[in-house]
Amino acid sequence: MASIGQIVNPTSGSDALSRARQRAALVPDCLVEAKRIANTVIAGWHGRRKRGIGENFWQFRPYAEGESLSRIDWRRSARDDHTYVREREWEAAHTIWLWCDMSPSMMYKSSYGNVSKESRALVVMLALAEILARSGERIGCPGIMEPASARNAAERLAAALMHTPLTGGLPETAMIRGWSDLVLIGDFLDDAAAIMERLGPLARRGLRGHVVEIADPAEEIFPYSGRTEFTDPETGAKLVSGRAEHIREAYRNAYLARRDSLGQSLRHLGWTFASHRTDHLASEALVAVHMYLSGMPAKATHGGQL
């Protein structure tokens, strides 16, 4: 049968150099697409609320060790076994860290998807940077760009991405301070327990997290049949199945169980989670994440399909 998917990697040379060149070529187009999507989404948007030291109530959040006891809302804390702080609304800049995975698995694109996972992740991240920068937020990217409040934050981030060594896996977060938001965009195909081992400490430090899983349709529906050779893009390991259709149900059950487990674990931390397929519009993921950041209920549920 004809090939269903491929790893997008046309440039010759060493693997690291090839991927660096490809990303440098990809980013400008992604930035143009991101601005187009941002302009579409932001049309008619009348700003968003922000938390701070103003008059209006914003939200309750868990108390962090070392904070003043005067900030504790004892009435809310008495409802369960946790201690909560009442936050107020304030129109001031807030720091939001954006990150997308650049692992080899993100370069996959099947004939069912519109773009590679890497391309969609970059577009969503840059479009989010564009919208948040217009709202006056401080935008940063762990290990790539220090937080900055500037109208051209998306352009700055794009330029930084073009000149940054390739890395995979979750980002280093030691540089993140204070009560910030962290948006993570990737395929998150690693074991859910291993992912939570990295993310759990971040939540306990007070970071609000928003995780967007980018998936190619073929990864979810498993359209393969007959003799099929599967290649792990991270390790190069190969698996040959004589009758791929015979393992379709078991694969899909395992794939969806991994997603559900990750989503439930993140919600337990107070983080948000949503999955987005590359055959859907990028604006769907953008709107959902922006609404999560705004403290408004998104159209899709946590862990829902975007």
pTM of the shown model: 0.75
Mean pLDDT of the chain: 80
Give the pLDDT confidence score for residue 195 in this predicted structure.
92
Q: What's the average model confidence in pLDDT over 266-286?
A: 92
Tokens 């564009």 sit on residue: 130
CA angle at 90 for the pair 87 and 91, rounded to the nearest 5°: 150
More confident residue, 135 or 281: 281
Percent of the chain with pLDDT over 90: 33
For helices 282-294 and 15-42, the axis angle rounded to 10 degrees is 70
More confident residue, 28 or 229: 229
pLDDT digits (tens, 9 = 90+) for 168-205: 678 888 878 767 899 999 999 988 899 999 898 888 88
pLDDT digits (tens, 9 = 90+) for 130-148: 888 888 888 999 988 998 8
Q: In what order do the strands lie in the sheet with 208-215?
A: 145-148, 138-141, 95-100, 181-186, 208-215, 272-277
Round to whole Å and give the CA distance between 34 and 82. Answer: 40
Convert 71-85 into a string of H (helix), E (strand) and C (coil). HECHHHHCCCCCCEE
Query: Amino acid identity, residue 37?
Result: I
Give the pLDDT confidence score for residue 46 in this predicted structure.
39
